Amino acid sequence: MKIGLVGCGAIGREVALAVDRDIPQLELSIIYDVEKAKIDFLLKSLVKKPKVASGIEEVMREADLVVEAASPKIVGELLTLASKEEKDLLIMSIGGVLDHLELLESIKREGKCKVFFPSGAIAGLDGINAAREKNIKSISITTSKPPQALLNAPYVIQNKIDLKNIKKPTLIFEGNCKQAVKAFPRNINVSATLSLAGIGMEKTNVKIIADPGITKNQHKIEIKGDFGEMEVVVRNVPSLTNPKTSYLAALSAVATLRKIVSPVKIGT
């Protein structure tokens, strides 16, 4: 299977190295990034040199499955191209999907391509998928981050939150997923993933805590339903090449690709 990669940053690099060296059923055939330096840096690490595309349209034409690891801004265009070209798509910038849910529903109906959403920086989606077969009563996620990780978020700027003077764990936001993604577009991809897997954006409760006493991002997920109750806590180590990216998110992309081509699949 030919893999096309859009985005050669921390996650894209992890995917490329795994495909190049460790997943023989896959071939990294073509890559693209708007920043040439990232492409050049990645190519130096690869044994097999893929073609460098001039744009995402070329990637979609030449690959069997395209991995997006670039930006929420291009997700809509990639979904449209995937449907048109009948090519499969793996999306990491899941927050970008929330503005194109009608397009996603159209892809479901037409069945011309498959769209994969890795679990990213959280765990527990297998349990949520199983629980959804009956009634899920509530889903909530509480994300705790060091204050500096929340700098420049639209919500922080608009509400003039002084993150530098926060001395103890402080709840700075509470709302639903739809509100959270707009308020913290670069910080809350995990809630988008959770809402797609569970009961939707408006029913998924999100809390964001600025905690000066931690160095790792923490996500606590709580689900209640007919199955009982579930609680999952993840404390993420940042990527070595991009501290804004959780290492687990990159690994989840690789694991998803491996699962796609594996004849044996474990987990829901």
Compute the Cα dihedral for 155, 120, 37, 4 and give only its sign.
Answer: negative
The whole-angstrom separation of Cα 24 and Cα 17 is 12
The whole-angstrom separation of Cα 103 and Cα 169 is 39
Name the pairing type of β-strands 51-52 and 65-68: unpaired
Active site residue 219: yes
Residue pointed to by tokens 């899920």: 136
For residue 28, give Cα distances in angstroms to 4, 64, 155, 207, 249: 6, 10, 39, 39, 20
Name the pairing type of β-strands 217-225 and 228-236: antiparallel
Catalytic residue among 56, 98, 219, 253: 219
> Is position 135 annotated in a ligand binding site?
no
First to last CA, the chain: 24
Helix (H) / strand (E) element for 4: namely strand 2-6
User: What one-character DSSP code corresponds to residue 190?
Assistant: H
> Is position 121 annotated in a ligand binding site?
yes
Q: What are the tokens at 208?
A: 């964001």
- Binding-site annotation: residue ranges: 121, 189
- Residues carrying an active site annotation: 219
Numbered residues of the known binding site for NAD(+): 121, 189
